[in-house]
């Protein structure tokens, strides 16, 4: 907190300095413009064929000299800002030590296999963003093996449909929800209703000319939603009263015509469509970067505390975090098993093992509890052999 406050003070100084220089510069420039306008006016009044009197010429020279001096002073004040801004960077370097090497193995990118995986992840992200040309260039230049090439046409199609919704083109998305209508119904999804509602509201925005088509649309598509969305459909029908106004923003139903509904429709579409077809909504690169941004501050702070207290040896295993970091529910993909005997999380070398009785402990705990060929469960009186234990995958 002290480090943040120190940097914040420097930033406040920069803002104050900027405000002062801006105010002074505007005042000086207004003064220069005023003087030059007076000189210009006096020159226009003179006969174009006559010469400027010597006294007036000297006055003009003095005015120009004063203007140059004022402009130079503005430049000097502006240059002084650089020193103030640079102090912010120095404060950040002084209070925040970016020693990432102490908390992460920096040699990981020296391994060809890891570099190949990284290139695949970046390529996948470009495909997901619709930047196919960039992704293909990266794949070609990084010489990814053909069998490892990335094909994300499915997500690209869903992404384009989502973008089309934001552009108020519902055609592709409505075709998709019609195709997967049974899957959406089994999930108790609201996606199809949201899109049908947007299509109906589009017809209403045509005014009286779209009335007949809007009514026909409700009869064709809203019957299946009556039980679940009765009140919402009643509101949609109430909009018909105001068709003649050509503007629903001044009616009791103005909330139905806000842009937020289109954003919500696009977001719901990409979320549910990805879940149904089995595609991750977020790219691996995005997940990794966001997880790192959440974790780095806590890990950096922990490392500094450990070094200060001379207990850095506690964190000796690079593949295991010394503390639990909550990344939020959106980044919780699977369960983690902690052995109830040894109180340690399972790893690939120490997986959870299910005993014959049904209780689960870690492999290390099982080996320590084994006496000869038999193993007695620590939670019940049943005995079993080590060969009868089964590995559990989380």
Backbone angles phi, psi at 111, to 5 degrees: -90, 125
**pTM exceeds cut of 0.85:** no
Is the CA virtual torsion 5, 303, 345, 275 positive or negative?
positive
pLDDT attached to residue 199: 92
**Domain-by-domain residue ranges, the chain?**
2-97, 114-151, 166-277, 282-314, 335-394
* Averaged pLDDT score across all residues of the chain: 81
Report which of residues 59 and 97 the model is more confident about.
Answer: 59
Crossing angle between the packed helical segments 132-141 and 112-128, to the nearest 10 degrees: 160
- Cα–Cα distance list, 97 to 12, 34, 86 (Å): 22, 51, 17
Please report the pLDDT score of residue 167 as a whole number.
92
346 by Cβ neighbours in 10 Å (0-12 / 13-18 / 19+) ranks as buried
The whole-number average pLDDT for the span 104-108 is 67
Quote the distance between the C-alpha of residue 273 and its chain's center. 19
pLDDT at 102: 64
Which fold would CATH assign to domain 335-394?
Answer: Herpes Virus-1 (3.30.40)
Pick the more confident residue, 391 or 334: 391
Confidence of residue 98 (pLDDT cuts 50, 70, 90): low
* Antiparallel, parallel or unpaired: β 360-362 and 370-371: unpaired
**Which range among 131-145, 317-331, 349-363 has the greatest average pLDDT?**
349-363
Sign of CA dihedral 277, 283, 284, 290: negative
Percent of the residues in the chain that have a pLDDT greater than 70, as a whole number: 88
User: For 186-241, what is each residue's pLDDT tens digit?
Assistant: 888 899 999 999 999 988 888 888 888 988 998 998 988 888 888 998 998 988 88
- Stretch (H or E) spanning 362: strand 360-362
pLDDT at res. 264: 92
Q: Is 277 exposed, middle or buried (0-12, 13-18, 19+ CB in 10 A)?
A: middle
Q: Which residues of 68-86 are buried (b: 16+ CB within 10 A; e: fewer)?
A: eebeeebeebeeeeeebee
CB distance 358 to 392 below 8 Å: no
- Stretch among 30-44, 164-178, 227-241 having the lowest mean pLDDT: 30-44
Cα–Cα distance for residue pair 64/243, rounded to 1 Å = 66
The mean pLDDT of 249-272, rounded to a whole number, is 88
Q: In what order do the strands lie in the sheet with 383-385?
A: 370-371, 374-376, 383-385
**Residue in this structure with the two tokens 């970016």, named with its chain if needed:** 98
pLDDT at residue 79 greater than cutoff 90: no
């Amino acid at each position: 907190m002290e480090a943040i406050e120190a940097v914040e003070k420097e930033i406040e100084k920069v803002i104050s300095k900027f405000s002062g220089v801006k105010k002074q510069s505007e005042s000086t420039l207004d003064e220069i413009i005023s003087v030059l306008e007076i000189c210009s006016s006096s020159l226009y009044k003179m006969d174009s064929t006559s010469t400027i009197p010597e006294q007036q010429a000297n006055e003009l020279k003095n005015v120009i000299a004063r203007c140059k001096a004022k402009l130079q002073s503005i430049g000097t004040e502006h240059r002084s800002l650089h020193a103030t801004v640079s102090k912010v960077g120095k404060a950040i370097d002084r209070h925040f030590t970016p020693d990432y090497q102490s908390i992460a193995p920096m040699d990981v990118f020296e391994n060809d296999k890891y570099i190949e995986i990284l290139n695949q992840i970046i390529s996948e992200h470009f495909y997901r963003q619709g930047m196919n040309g960039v992704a293909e260039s990266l794949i070609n230049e990084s010489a990814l093996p053909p069998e490892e090439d990335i094909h994300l046409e499915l997500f690209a199609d869903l992404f384009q449909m989502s973008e089309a919704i934001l552009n108020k083109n519902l055609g592709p998305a409505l075709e998709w929800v019609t195709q997967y209508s049974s899957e959406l119904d089994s999930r108790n999804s609201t996606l199809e209703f949201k899109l049908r509602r947007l299509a109906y509201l589009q017809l209403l925005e045509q005014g009286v000319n779209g009335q007949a088509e809007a009514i026909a649309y409700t009869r064709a598509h809203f019957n299946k939603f009556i039980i679940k969305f009765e009140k919402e459909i009643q509101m949609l029908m109430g909009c018909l009263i105001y068709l003649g106004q050509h503007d629903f923003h001044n009616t009791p139903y103005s909330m139905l015509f806000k842009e937020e509904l289109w954003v919500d429709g696009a977001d719901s579409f990409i979320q549910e469509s990805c879940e149904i077809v089995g595609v991750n909504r977020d790219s691996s690169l995005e997940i990794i970067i966001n997880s790192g941004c959440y974790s780095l501050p806590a890990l950096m702070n922990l490392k500094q505390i450990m070094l200060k207290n001379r207990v850095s040896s506690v964190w000796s295993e690079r593949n295991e975090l010394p503390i639990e970091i909550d990344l939020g529910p959106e980044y919780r993909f699977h369960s983690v098993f902690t052995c109830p005997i040894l109180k340690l999380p399972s790893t690939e070398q120490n997986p959870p093992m299910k005993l014959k009785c049904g209780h689960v402990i870690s492999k290390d705990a099982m080996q320590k509890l084994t006496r000869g060929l038999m193993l007695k469960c620590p939670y019940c009186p049943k005995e079993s052999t080590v060969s009868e234990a089964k590995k559990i995958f989380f």
